[in-house]
Structure 1
Amino acid sequence: MTPEQMRDASLLELFSLEAEAQTQVLSAGLLALERNPAQADQLEACMRAAHSLKGAARIVGIDAGVSVAHVMEDCLVAAQEQRLLLRPEHIDALLQGTDLLMRIATPGDLQGEAAVPAFLVQMAALLDPAAPIVPRPSLPAEPALAPPPAYPPALPVASVEREPESEAATVTKTSRRGGEGGERVLRVTADRLNSLLDLSSKSLVETQRLKPYLATLQRLKRMHGQGMRALDGLRGQLEGSAQNVEVLEALAQTQRLLAETQQILQQQAADLDEFGWQASQRAQLLYDTALACRMRPFADVLTGQSRMVRDLGRSLGKQVQLLIEGDKTQVDRDVLERLDAPLTHLLRNAVDHGIESPEQRLLAGKPADGTLRLRASHQAGLLILELTDDGAGIDLERLRRSIVERALSPAETVAQMSEAELLTFLFLPGFSLREQVTEVSGRGVGLDAVQHMVRELRGSIELTQSPGHGCCFHMEVPLTLSVVRSLVVEVGSEAYAFPLAHIERTLDVPAQSIVQIEGRQHFWHEDRHIGLVAASQLLNRPPAQGDADSLRVVVIREREQLYGVAVERLIGERVLVVMPLDPRLGKVQDISSGALLDDGSVVLIIDVEDLLRSVDKLLSTGRLERIERSAGAGRGVPRKRVLVVDDSLTVRELQRKLLSTRGYEVAVAVDGMDGWNALRGEDFDLLITDIDMPRMDGIELVTLVRRDNRLQSLPVMVVSYKDREEDRRRGLDAGADYYLAKASFHDDALLDAVVELIGGAQG
């Protein structure tokens, strides 16, 4: 919908947005009032929210909303004036009214207004049983009131572009109490935020390109000064040898010109230094701001969770409250959205399975009201979530019986299991300790789904418990899926990044500490053997020929698996902006995404789970190679050279890495003109080019190659997204020897085609 259309036909939509914000205020305030009915600040907040909704409903002509909000406001004002003490039945009714207002504001919900008369009668009985309020569709006696400043009535129509919730990210959403106005709210598509973050990261990289120019200018300044001093010495020698006046005047003119250029050079160097510093500062600020736009407080995922816990507990005859710590912890919006479902599962599970009935709690010496605590915090780029309850904990004997009854393990084995081993069974699909299926639980769907969703986020979950005192779920997930803290390493002269969340530690392992156990290499560390694999084999890179003293090893962990991955060099820790690979490339083995380093070079981010699957596959097939410390065979044999010409950074780098892993020496060019210049200046065994490129496209490049006497026999492969027959024929008619669609990258089609054209890397 365009802004012009919004100006003409968006009042109901804006009222729906207003209702969403104000009902959240009502829900949170009413839950607080249930614990302490006399909280003046919460009474004031709830009353103002109801008053705002009444005014907004009157503006858009929704009489049912006016009536509901009006009677709720009456109840809250009576509580403020101490004419009424809010009891649980009042809170129930007010929460019911909150839900009713949201339904009335939801377009297409026709049952909301139908429930209004019964609700008004119910509220009348609670407010004054002797004088029930008759439902009234409108209140014309009162003037139309705009919402008070504490809660903005609606967003400015012309400045809001509505997007589906699944596609939109809230940049700013804040309500303030008191006399201050609320901040404006804008909704921006997630794709635009991702694009902004990508552009800002590239801008940050581009500012680094100024450093070599500044260094060159500084070097020119030094050389210029040396030249000036040399001329001064020459002038002294000439004056001493009584040279004619013309020579001395020419020398003086040269010195004056050099002095002027020195001033210009110094000024330009100072200006460039200042510009470079300012540009880097602004680029860093732009990057930090763009990253902050994707971050939202953890409280955003908790909307309605406290209410859900309270309502579910009351339906089960339990009094349960949810206490939240760290609700302002900033988390990426994508992570928050995907945390909603697992958190809901865990909270419902805690209320149903963990918290006992009030009678049981009193017998156990506990308060009748149960408590859930949800704590959120940051740690090393991870979001740490801890959900604890003060319930009965897990009945381990009952769990053992259930495991045996379900034939999941023999009774003798179960009897010897530790508590941690027993608790892992609760995460199995279909496993439940509930004997009967209810509306809440008993179907065996819950913890297994939670574990699956957490693992999809590249996170982990662990359950601990204390019999009679409750359970604790400990979850660790990345703070963001857009930025990843990584350890950058060198493998086969290429840069790769291991996410820090999967790294246990890094080590220098002495060569003499590597042992063979059952045909596999291991090393001993902290009282356990850790399997050792070569990153070069896993990533299909040529093996390094390092010294024989020690190996640089990255110890990676995936749940209970530990492996040492030998690399050539540890470059250092970096915060990388994730650049997803083009989906048309398919799944690249062992690689999850790419990123740019500070110098603009490309680094591939390793998919640790996929990497470990590759290790298991090599182990099962017996093809895991030993790490040899001696010089490899074939040193000094020239490798065949390939020129890759493509304007897409992702495609260009992927082709380069694919060919480099097979041992080819690869050069790259960013477009046809760049490729043509490279071909004229160097010798290559194969040209691989795209078609659609700026300055000079692939067809023009192939045509020039075939017209050149030196290059006309050079094998040429065209790789393009265009897979139509006419496109294929156009490329072959221009002189290409092979035409390949880029969609074939996920298999070995590209490498097989290269071998077919020029043979192996070393012939």
Structure 2
Amino acid sequence: MTPEQMRDASLLELFSLEAEAQTQVLSAGLLALERNPTQADQLESCMRAAHSLKGAARIVGIDSGVSVAHVMEDCLVSAQEGRLFLRPEHIDALLQGTDLLMRIAHPANAPQPADIDAYVALMGRLIDPAGAPVVSAPPPMAERLLEPPPVAPAISAPVPQPQPEPVEPESAPIPAPRKGKRTAEGGERVLRVTAERLNSLLDLSSKSLVETQRLKPHLATMQRLKRMQNNGLRALESLNAHLKEHALSLEAQEALEDARRLLAESQQLLAEKNAELDEFAWQASQRAQVLYDTALACRMRPFADVLSGQVRMVRDLGRSLGKQVRLEVEGEKTQVDRDVLEKLEAPLTHLLRNAVDHGIETPAQRLLAGKPEEGLIRLRASHQAGLLVLELSDDGNGVDLDKVRRSIVERQLSPAETAAQLSEEELLTFLFLPGFSLRDKVTEVSGRGVGLDAVQHMVRQLRGAVVLEQVAGEGSRFHLEVPLTLSVVRSLVVEVGDEAYAFPLAHIERMCDLAPEDIVQVEGRQHFWHEGRHVGLVAASQLLQRPASQNSGDTLKVVVIRERDTIYGVAVERFIGERTLVVLPLDERLGKVQDISSGALLDDGSVVLIVDVEDMLRSVDKLLNTGRLERIARHGGQAAEAARKRILVVDDSLTVRELQRKLLLNRGYDVAVAVDGMDGWNALRSEDFDLLITDIDMPRMDGIELVTLLRRDNRLQSLPVMVVSYKDREEDRRRGLDAGADYYLAKASFHDDALLDAVVELIGGARA
């Protein structure tokens, strides 16, 4: 490519970018002028946009762009100077010119010269019906185009069609826009990056975040090694004390002293490296989190990106149907994943066309109903609980429920007697059935058998939901909820058959603990009472084909899932917690895995499968219909109790003692308590335990004395010990660890899982 060609390609690309920005200004301004033709600020902004495009087209050498922008500028200047009052036909023509400029900016869809000539002639008649068009010293290259042909056919304003984006080299930087040109994100320089590279960046950053979390268990192991070395040093000191009673050779004394010195030096070195590793792990996790958040933000775009041309589409469609309709948008800056935006465009367009065609009445009908001639459609976007919530409402006539009933009977979807008894909510659900329409004949706008079922299908593909509400004579309202991003899903992670599974929060009604007496038998199936209705209870282990859990706890952990009117309780083994998971698609070679949508990685690097709730509900229905739904057995008894690990809690505070006991019992451990150190020492000598948890300040015998006695006892010296104290000073912590404790925990940490996490680190889960 020659330098001249490279220069021209860059200029054409620059003109395309300028056209995209300025035509948006023109469209918004002209729609505002249609409501108030004398708005000075809108006239000024539209005139300047047309003027800028004329200058840009002249620089690039696009004569057709110069001609179209020039006559548009003349029309707007005439309106500014009061020589012309903008009527609907002027707005139609100016919007048509806006479409032509966009087509001119994209050579693949450029209009024919005859279209340009016809448009210039049309504008000439509209600007000066009595004579020639008003022109102000047009540039020489445009003079020929501005002369109207002998016969100038009228051109109707077409509904705008999406234009193809210009093809450009992958990751090539866009030339810097001219001064005053609007650019993305408030004037920042833009670099186009492919979606695949963004996905790869997000994937790598999420894996980096997971990898940094894997340092935590490694650091915990190093801390345990340090404690083991400390115990070894104490054992060596004890051996030295015993050997002093015996006459040792000089070589033996030197060897013993060397062992003590080497162990002390290695312990000091290990302590230093542990501190360095701890600092590195913290900094690495912070950097990884920032990297991940930044990569995720790169995928987010304002909701306004999906609205390009929608306001204009609503206006043009309304005019073609003889209606006056206006679209108002709230929350244009709401940030949404670009993949979600792309998938939302089709259902939103369908709902908007549906509202114009079915909802909004003609001006005459609205006047008879006491409404303004102009119909109003509102679209509101907002964030709620990690979801994008869209509300699309209109002030039209609402849904004709009697017509819905007649259509149900005519299509033989229900007998007339049953249809007559259907509630409003039940009737509205029929509108989402495939092929269901209230139109008697096919039109260009609707009635082709592709209705709200297509909208519902597309929304469900986004793991979202759509609900229709209406008030007769006052309008309809669609409520859509979809995830803000398909890359990340906020989920409840649970354990089923000793494996982790995640339920997306968007489909969870609630989570609860059921006592055995709360489970009832209804028609041979297990149910429980929830919000005034019986909800069916199923075992996640049967649905996910995992071994049934031997639950010996006092309650049953249940996740209540819902999809529209379908609701079930799914029993799981335990709740792991709420997590934000980076979605990892399953290998395509696996096909559709039943009840599973995708996978993810937890903080420790382990794999978790994300449940496909809609698929799981279908699986429940299938099991019910075939009579294969299993009952949830409640297992318990002494055998299960004997297999549980035992913990002794020693504390003189009844409140703290009971709090610890309940926390550990709920996690499945067998717990005994002692009221002070002496009571605890007696319990340790008479029974077997897997862990001791003790306070420090207690009457008769404090925790330091208790731990010291324990470490001197041959049978108990290897028992793991955790010290729990209100004192969180470094000297108190060192005093407890020096006495022989394996773990020191402040009581202030009880608000989170610190106690339970420490217990798991020391002795593992509740089962032996």
Match of 2:114 in 1: 114
Tell me, yes or no, if the aligned pair for 1:30 and 1:95 is still in contact at 8 Å. yes
Match of 2:147 in 1: none
The two structures have a TM-score, normalised by structure 1, of: 0.72
Query: 1-side partners of 2:18 and 2:77: how far apart?
Result: 21
- Change in CA separation of 1:428 and 1:621 when aligned onto 2, cut-off 3 Å: closer
Which segment drifts farther, 58-67 or 401-410?
A: 401-410
Match of 1:55 in 2: 55
2:570 pairs with 557, 565, 573, which one? 565
1:424 pairs with 411, 421, 429, which one? 429
Query: 1-side partners of 2:416 and 2:248: how far apart?
Result: 112
What amino acid is aligned across from residue 552 of structure 2 in structure 1? D
Which segment drifts farther, 238-247 or 434-443?
A: 238-247
Is the aligned partner of 1:357 residue 2:362? yes
Please list the CA deviations of residues 409-462 of structure 1 after superposition, one character each: whole Å capped at 9, or x if unmatched.
222222222111222222233332233332222334322222222222222222
1:328 pairs with 333, 349, 362, which one? 333
How many residue pairs get aligned? The number is 613
1:540 pairs with 542, 545, 556, which one? 545
Q: Alignment RMSD, CA only?
A: 3.9
The two structures have a TM-score, normalised by structure 2, of: 0.72
What amino acid is aligned across from residue 16 of structure 2 in structure 1? S
- Change in CA separation of 1:612 and 1:592 when aligned onto 2, cut-off 3 Å: same
Query: 1-side partners of 2:528 and 2:376: how far apart?
Result: 47
Structure 1 residue 557: Cα displacement? 0.9
- Change in CA separation of 1:476 and 1:225 when aligned onto 2, cut-off 3 Å: same
Structure 1 residue 338: Cα displacement? 1.1
Helix, strand or coil at the partner of 1:521 = strand
Query: 2-side partners of 1:157 and 1:548: how far apart?
Result: 63
Is the aligned partner of 1:406 residue 2:407? no
Which segment drifts farther, 464-473 or 13-22?
A: 13-22
Please list the CA deviations of residues 353-409 of structure 1 after superposition, one character each: whole Å capped at 9, or x if unmatched.
111111221222111111000111122222211111111122223333333333332
- Change in CA separation of 1:514 and 1:240 when aligned onto 2, cut-off 3 Å: closer
Match of 1:603 in 2: 608
1:268 pairs with 270, 273, 286, which one? 273
Tell me, yes or no, if the aligned pair for 2:456 and 2:465 is still in contact at 8 Å. yes
Query: 2-side partners of 1:76 and 1:133: how far apart?
Result: 11
Tell me, yes or no, if the aligned pair for 1:390 and 1:469 is still in contact at 8 Å. yes
What amino acid is aligned across from residue 481 of structure 1 in structure 2? L
Structure 1 residue 158: Cα displacement? 8.4
Is the aligned partner of 1:205 residue 2:210? yes
What amino acid is aligned across from residue 117 of structure 2 in structure 1? P
Is the aligned partner of 1:87 residue 2:87? yes
Helix, strand or coil at the partner of 1:327 = coil
Q: Whose Rg is larger?
A: 2
Tell me, yes or no, if the aligned pair for 1:533 and 1:563 is still in contact at 8 Å. yes
- Change in CA separation of 1:454 and 1:231 when aligned onto 2, cut-off 3 Å: closer
Structure 1 residue 177: Cα displacement? 6.0
Helix, strand or coil at the partner of 2:109 = coil
Match of 1:742 in 2: none
Tell me, yes or no, if the aligned pair for 1:505 and 1:556 is still in contact at 8 Å. yes
Query: 2-side partners of 1:15 and 1:39: how far apart?
Result: 28
Structure 1 residue 291: Cα displacement? 1.1
- Change in CA separation of 1:245 and 1:618 when aligned onto 2, cut-off 3 Å: closer
Please list the CA deviations of residues 132-180 of structure 1 after superposition, one character each: whole Å capped at 9, or x if unmatched.
25899964699xxxxxxxxxxx9999895499xxxxxxxx9x99769x9
Tell me, yes or no, if the aligned pair for 2:595 and 2:612 is still in contact at 8 Å. yes
Match of 2:481 in 1: 476
Match of 1:513 in 2: 518
Please list the CA deviations of residues 511-533 of structure 1 after superposition, one character each: whole Å capped at 9, or x if unmatched.
23323333322222232111111
Match of 2:690 in 1: none
Structure 1 residue 38: Cα displacement? 4.2
What amino acid is aligned across from residue 635 of structure 2 in structure 1? S
Is the aligned partner of 1:527 residue 2:532? yes
Query: 1-side partners of 2:508 and 2:537: how far apart?
Result: 14
- Change in CA separation of 1:474 and 1:327 when aligned onto 2, cut-off 3 Å: same
What amino acid is aligned across from residue 527 of structure 2 in structure 1? H
Please list the CA deviations of residues 608-663 of structure 1 after superposition, one character each: whole Å capped at 9, or x if unmatched.
1221222222222222222112379x99xxxxxxxxxxxxxxxxxxxxxxxxxxxx
Tell me, yes or no, if the aligned pair for 1:6 and 1:158 is still in contact at 8 Å. no
- Change in CA separation of 1:140 and 1:231 when aligned onto 2, cut-off 3 Å: farther
Please list the CA deviations of residues 455-493 of structure 1 after superposition, one character each: whole Å capped at 9, or x if unmatched.
222222221111211111111222221111111110010
Query: 2-side partners of 1:452 and 1:4: how far apart?
Result: 51
Which segment drifts farther, 31-40 or 521-530?
A: 31-40
Structure 1 residue 6: Cα displacement? 6.9
What amino acid is aligned across from residue 70 of structure 1 in structure 2? H
1:315 pairs with 317, 320, 341, which one? 320
Query: 2-side partners of 1:348 and 1:92: how far apart?
Result: 19
Please list the CA deviations of residues 308-348 of structure 1 after superposition, one character each: whole Å capped at 9, or x if unmatched.
00011111221111001111111111111111111111111
Gaps of 5+ in 2: 144-164, 641-768
Is the aligned partner of 1:583 residue 2:588? yes
Query: 1-side partners of 2:534 and 2:465: how far apart?
Result: 23
Query: 1-side partners of 2:345 and 2:448: how far apart?
Result: 20
Query: 2-side partners of 1:614 and 1:258: how far apart?
Result: 61
Which segment drifts farther, 594-603 or 22-31?
A: 22-31
Tell me, yes or no, if the aligned pair for 1:121 and 1:135 is still in contact at 8 Å. no
Is the aligned partner of 1:487 residue 2:492? yes
Helix, strand or coil at the partner of 1:427 = coil
- Change in CA separation of 1:223 and 1:493 when aligned onto 2, cut-off 3 Å: closer
Query: 1-side partners of 2:426 and 2:44: how far apart?
Result: 51
Match of 1:166 in 2: none
Gaps of 5+ in 1: 143-153, 164-171, 636-763
What amino acid is aligned across from residue 334 of structure 2 in structure 1? T
Query: 2-side partners of 1:376 and 1:349: how far apart?
Result: 19
- Change in CA separation of 1:266 and 1:77 when aligned onto 2, cut-off 3 Å: farther
Match of 1:714 in 2: none
Tell me, yes or no, if the aligned pair for 2:395 and 2:474 is still in contact at 8 Å. yes
Tell me, yes or no, if the aligned pair for 2:74 and 2:134 is still in contact at 8 Å. no
